[in-house]
Structure 1
């Protein structure tokens, strides 16, 4: 497997270069930059702006600027944010835990419920429970996540059951540690439920379809003819039905820091979404590139993990890899 991992790492290098270069090019070709806002301030002299351009290499040709940024980015020196007046790496490290808390909680909610719901619906095809699951899936797949977030925020504002927006209450610092944990969990319910319900609907439908396909296969007919128990049958069916979802896992890992951006902005969750929105609006070059760089790396790592899990689960994939890499 070492040869396969090495091949995928080498394959990821041009992908990372291509994504970062195109992103850098698009940002630089956009009219204006953050320094244009400084030029509107009469208290900042043109000489100061020129010194800033020289300090950050913005007075050099575009390709030179990109390779200077890339050389530093390889060591995770992502530059300096003009807007926040802080290193980009520190800003991202400060916001990533908040985003991961939201993304992981919603992903666990969706994945842990979708597998039993979809499997049970497939085994009880055309039953009342199956129709309920199908109706639930199509309903929440049809509702945009931002609209669902607005509905939940409206419900919270009218009832007062849950806090509206943000991650902490105004008196958060005066609370005890258990009260702080409870306060964060209360603020977490609306954004995680919004992301989780939409994801749960699509995953449940996919699990149901995949299990139904396996149930109609000759393998299941043979297992039933042998008289295997229900638990054994379900185990074999799930093992064969999980291949598509193992592939999806790679995208789930990649979306942990980017998939919740819109919901973060709507509910005021202080994560990567708000950070990147402000960076784009203010044309904060290094902060935008830092976020894209980390997101691309997570996508590549997620796909690698998904491929390794798929090879572990499916012997056919291992056999194909053995032939390709002569393991």
Structure 2
């Protein structure tokens, strides 16, 4: 196992480098650059564009340099903890992303916890009580969760909250706690606002996990080792939980690697609808304006999350499934 982890750590370094290289290249694929977008915006507003000033900015930001030179300067800065400077926001990238990325990780992490807490008991019950009323309700709920887009569910919640309670849901904090330090009052205020985005973000994932767990557990319950366990006198609870459930969890555990990045990308529209200060809208805006250092930093951090999540998935799979042992003969 130690050798496996060491090899994975080494491969993670090369994977993260490849992600940074490809992401930086993709951001620059559209014609033009940030100054092209900036000039077009000035022209649309009717402002005069000074070619000399634009050329000076182009020289200052190094837009005329080859791609490899720009990428090399960016990666050297990354090794020193410098993510570059945002062209649009006129501020260091690190100051822009850490707060929003922290909000994203907190929201998506809580959404993942809600997914598992809800999906596990419902999926197990639906498989064990196949074709019961609870199974049918879980199936209908799963289909609705997969069919309704997250942003549409957010709009429904906003409408119902305003009609029934006369309140609008949105944001993560009240104005008095927006820039305050963490305290018990700020945690309570966060909980009173965060339930809506957590519910919206976890809906589709919960429905998907329920369907996957139900299908896998139904397949495992038909296998001979379950019949043998029952014949030996094991209780029904131990027979189901000790072996079939552990095996049925494999596909769910393997999704940890891409679950957080997928939640971040899927929460872009939800964050816009609910006015959430997360990384999603910032990434979308940086891509549309070709703010390459800001977009590249966010994509790189999402890639790091994916690589770390994949490693965690592999280690959990080896732990919950005795048939998987890295390095065994």
Query: TM-score normalised to the size of structure 1?
Result: 0.88
Aligned partner of 1:226 among 210, 232, 239 = 232
Q: CA 1:231 to 1:161, structure 2 compared with 1: closer, same or farther past 3 Å?
A: farther
User: What is the CA-CA distance between 1:113 and the residue it aligns to?
Assistant: 1.0
Cα distance in 2 for residues equivalent to 1:255 and 1:240: 24
Aligned residue number for residue 79 of structure 1: 84
Q: Aligned Cα RMSD in Å?
A: 2.6
- Deviation readout 1:59-118 (Å, 9 max, x if unpaired): 311122122212322444211111222211221111122112221222111111100111
Conservation of the 8 A alpha-carbon contact between 1:98 and 1:270? yes
Residue 170 (structure 2) pairs with residue 165 (structure 1): yes
Aligned residue number for residue 144 of structure 1: 149
SS at match of 1:233: helix
Aligned residue number for residue 260 of structure 1: 267
User: What is the CA-CA distance between 1:159 and the residue it aligns to?
Assistant: 2.3
Aligned residue number for residue 198 of structure 2: 192
Q: CA 1:196 to 1:150, structure 2 compared with 1: closer, same or farther past 3 Å?
A: same
SS at match of 2:12: helix
User: What is the CA-CA distance between 1:301 and the residue it aligns to?
Assistant: 0.9
Aligned residue number for residue 114 of structure 2: 109
Aligned residue number for residue 160 of structure 2: 155
Cα distance in 2 for residues equivalent to 1:12 and 1:177: 37
Cα distance in 2 for residues equivalent to 1:173 and 1:59: 40
Structure 2: runs of 5+ lacking an equivalent: none
User: What is the CA-CA distance between 1:162 and the residue it aligns to?
Assistant: 4.8
Query: TM-score normalised to the size of structure 2?
Result: 0.88
Conservation of the 8 A alpha-carbon contact between 1:35 and 1:49? yes
Q: CA 1:264 to 1:38, structure 2 compared with 1: closer, same or farther past 3 Å?
A: closer
Cα distance in 2 for residues equivalent to 1:247 and 1:117: 20
Aligned residue number for residue 29 of structure 1: 29
Residue 213 (structure 2) pairs with residue 202 (structure 1): no
Q: Quick check: 174-183 or 209-218, which moved more?
A: 174-183
Q: Quick check: 73-82 or 293-302, which moved more?
A: 73-82
Aligned partner of 1:70 among 36, 53, 75 = 75
Aligned residue number for residue 244 of structure 1: 251
Structure 1: runs of 5+ lacking an equivalent: none
Aligned residue number for residue 298 of structure 1: 305
